[in-house]
Amino acid sequence: DVKVTQSSRYLVKRTGEKVFLECVQDMDHENMFWYRQDPGLGLRLIYFSYDVKMKEKGDIPEGYSVSREKKERFSLILESASTNQTSMYLCASSSGQSEETQYFGPGTRLLVL
Amino acid sequence: GENVEQHPSTLSVQEGDSAVIKCTYSDSASNYFPWYKQELGKRPQLIIDIRSNVGEKKDQRIAVTLNKTAKHFSLHITETQPEDSAVYFCAASNAGGTSYGKLTFGQGTILTVHP
């Protein structure tokens, strides 16, 4: 059974703080993704990674960066948090072996004050 | 890039009725169309998917149809039950290319099934 975990379920930060969101998967998946979920906007892709140290911008990368130093771990970084980054953040992974099913983490609800 | 539009944004049905959610996509190279269900407070999970070489796929009470010419696909749920209440997302991908499994999601449909 695939397991994707995220470091926090709820997070409250102040404007300007640097924020780290971590995601870990235990199925040796090649691909990992970070989305933000906002009502009426669906799941929007921020960044994804298809291998260690490899990353690609998604549809809304501004204000975010990512790090993938180990295959199982994919971190999302908000360099200087702003109130418009208040959202639900979801991590996902997929095997990359012609299997496109994405397995999601439980999500981190981030509030930036 | 790919753009996926999903309608309706909310759908309310009585238990036992059918529900239909529709999506359109823009990139003719897309060939993989999954549907995810997200129950309240839970993570999205794949419920059914279809590839471009197939026009319809069924799994018990749920079915998905694909019209490649018109670039739209639909989710059909028959004999709805209260536990079908959730947010449903459609998505599209050019699987097998250099997309690395990247999905473009629709905006989501909140389905409410009234007992």
Chain B: nearest CA to A40, how far in angstroms? 6
Rounded-to-integer distance, Cα A27 and Cα A69, Å: 16
The per-residue pLDDT for range A56-86, each reduced to its tens digit, is 999 999 999 999 999 999 999 999 999 999 9
For residue B101, the model assigns a pLDDT of 80
Distance of CA A28 to the CA centre of its chain: 17
Identify which of B96, B102, B106 has the shortest CB distance to residue A42.
B106
Chain B: nearest CA to A56, how far in angstroms? 10
Largest distance between two CA atoms of chain A: 42
Q: In chain A, which stretches have pLDDT less than 70?
A: 1-2, 97-99
The per-residue pLDDT for range B40-68, each reduced to its tens digit, is 999 999 999 999 888 999 999 999 999 99
Rounded-to-integer distance, Cα B42 and Cα B113, Å: 18
